[in-house]
Every structure is written in C-alpha cells, then in structure tokens.
Amino acid sequence: MPKKVLVIGSSLREKSNSEALADAFAAGAQSAGNHVKRVSLNEKTIAFCRGCLACLNTHVCVIRDDAVAITEQMRQADVIAFASPIYYYEMSGQMKTLLDRANPLYSSDYAFRDIYMLTTAAEDGSTVPERAVNGLTGWIDCFEKARLAGTVFAGDVDGPGDITGHPALKTAYEMGCQV
C-alpha cells in the first residue's frame, strides 16, 4: 500500500546540497509507488514558538503563518524526511523553528511513524551530523509511535551544487525506495 511521504527541505540557499538530497530521497520514494509531497522552507514565513501551549488543547498553533499548513501536512504523513544543511554542527535554524512549531502534533492523532534525516556539510567526517541527528531524535522521542528510520550524510559539499555526483545522492534515493 502506498505511503504518504512528506519531504521537508530547510535550506534557504539556491542549488542547495541538502535540497538535492531531499530531491533524491523523494524521487526514490516516488519510484517505489508512494505519494510524495515536497516542501521547502525557503520563502516560507515561520515565526518562533511563543511557548503559550494553547496548541496542546486546540491542536493548532495560535500564530497564523506557513508553519500551520506544514504541521498539518506532517500530521497526515506516514513518513517524514527532513533535509538540513549542518551549521556549526547542528541542524539549520529554520528546521529547528519548524520542529518547535510542530508542538500541536504532540497531543494529536498523528500518522507518521518513520522519520528520516538528510544532512550536508562543508566538513567531512562521521561525527559531523551527530548533533543534528541528536536534535531531531529529541523531537522524535516525544512521539511514542515514531522512530528515526534512517540518516544520510554528505560531507565535503560546501558551495551550491557541490553535491553533484556525490555517493550520498544514490544512498538517499535508495533509502527513499525503501520507505
């Protein structure tokens, strides 16, 4: 049975390396017969969470911006893949802000089970994505039916489009095929 797959890119850069990973993952998921929706946070308006916690009762944030619609898409998705550049060994601020704004999902009847993390960085090394993945895992831990299903990291990709030909693109595609 096809799954609803939501792939969220959080880079604000044109020809982003992390967006290329997101596209590869999405292409793999689509080739496997799933329903895939791609969202980029570029040009979206997402304000910081106010911490009012009204959303725990209403299941909707009181701030009316693009995060409301994205969070609803997250709630309905079976699978969510987040793509982020690594800045100072952590996920992008845009991604963290979206995760904070996804608080209405905590007390809702969310569909997602499998969460994926796709990251890129100028630096290469196996430990580079650890803090970003740990940050996402902290969010996932708040959702007892969800799990971190996989990660892909592309290091040594700094400038726009540097990821072209990188083996992580194939890995992301193949991971998408397996959702």
Which pLDDT band holds residue 164 (cuts at 50, 70, 90)?
Answer: very high
The three-state secondary structure class of 15 is coil
The pTM (predicted TM-score) of the whole model is: 0.97
**Can you give the pLDDT at residue 46?**
97
Position 56 confidence tier, pLDDT thresholds 50, 70, 90: confident
The CB density around residue 135, as the number of other CB atoms within 10 Å, is 17
Q: Which two tokens stand for residue 24?
A: 């590869």
Mean pLDDT of the 82-88 span: 96
- The string of DSSP letters for 100-164 reads HHTGGGTTS-----EEEEEEE-SS-STTTTHHHHHHHHHHHTT-TT-EEEEEEEE-S--STTTTT
Q: What is the rounded average pLDDT of the residues 135-164?
A: 97
| pLDDT confidence of residue 59 | 86
